[in-house]
Homo-oligomer: A and B are copies of this chain.
């Protein structure tokens, strides 16, 4: 990449203090930046680095710019929030990287598929019959797409993703390596002799738009009907989502959390890592659940923070822990 300070400033309608033709080839943190780098200053803690950084262009929050003594050898792009500006800049840079849309000769595509001509398919991809992939989507190497799968536009499926039959994926989704979508749920009926009879799974998974799924996460398909991951949901790595679960819009879930069968999670929830949910419960919209919690009953009041195993309202748990400590110390 090569940009001038001017190229960047116009993106944010920002003022330039310094040389508007200053060129940058890379973006690096303030303490690590080398010459011809853009760096950013959004946090007061790093103020002292401003004088010593080797970067020649600094994207800086306006409230911090008043606290530094500008150097004549540097160029400053002053924006309201340098951190948000940085994210937007990085996003733009990423989008500009050219993606080639073609089908690799070492892929295997069954008959009767509908694949837009602006779709990229890498080596060793398998795509089953009756599947559809819309424009600007890209399928990484070693990915398996079963029969009758639908993948929307502008999706990025990385290498080694395994998608079972009948899964539906919306637009603008990002699915990382090793994700498994649509495996059978964990359902068995105990027989009199102690063995288990498998409950067959005839359902599927429906994934909305703008969903991101982290590496090696697994989502099981429904017994009947659909496991649903709604628009804007973000899932971290190594998460387990069982059959018939529903996850509401814009809910984010951190790594290694597990959700048991038929549980319904509301919208706009924030769920920490290593949390466990039992099956057949529901969690109200806007719930925040701290890491490592165990959710054993439905949460009916929205917008509260929960912690512990079994979960309690966070302030209640904290109070109990303090009282407990006092009790022990007194004893």
Contacts and interface: CB of A to CB of B under 8 A. Distances in A.
B180 A178 contact: yes
A212 B197 CA distance: 11
Copy number in this complex?
3
B225 A32 contact: yes
Contacts of A164: 158, 177
Contacts of A154: none
Given A90-B199, A196-B232, A214-B218, A142 B124 contact: yes
Contact of A242 (B140, B242, B255, B267): B255
Given A91-B200, A183-B176, A273-B258, A224 B27 contact: yes
Nearest to A29: B224
Main secondary structure of the interface of A (DSSP, over half): loop
Contacts of A268: 194
Given A108-B124, A124-B126, A328-B323, A292 B291 contact: no
Interface in A65-80: none
A245 to B, nearest CB: 12
A296 to B, nearest CB: 8
Given A160-B162, A162-B160, A240-B255, A87 B199 contact: yes
B291 A93 contact: no
A32 B225 CA distance: 8
Interface string A283-311: 00000000110100000000000000100
A162 B162 contact: no
A144 B331 contact: no
Interface string A307-322: 0010000000000100
Contact of A162 (B144, B178, B183): B178
A101 to B, nearest CB: 17
Contact of A331 (B210, B274, B323): B323
A51 interface: no
Interface string A182-196: 011010110000111
The list of the 3 closest CB pairs from A to B, nearest first, reads A162-B177, A90-B200, A144-B159
25 contacts: A27-B224, A29-B225, A87-B189, A87-B198, A87-B199, A90-B200, A91-B200, A94-B202, A108-B124, A108-B141, A124-B142, A142-B144, A142-B162, A144-B159, A158-B162, A174-B184, A180-B216, A186-B236, A215-B218, A220-B237, A238-B258, A255-B260, A256-B256, A274-B276, A292-B309
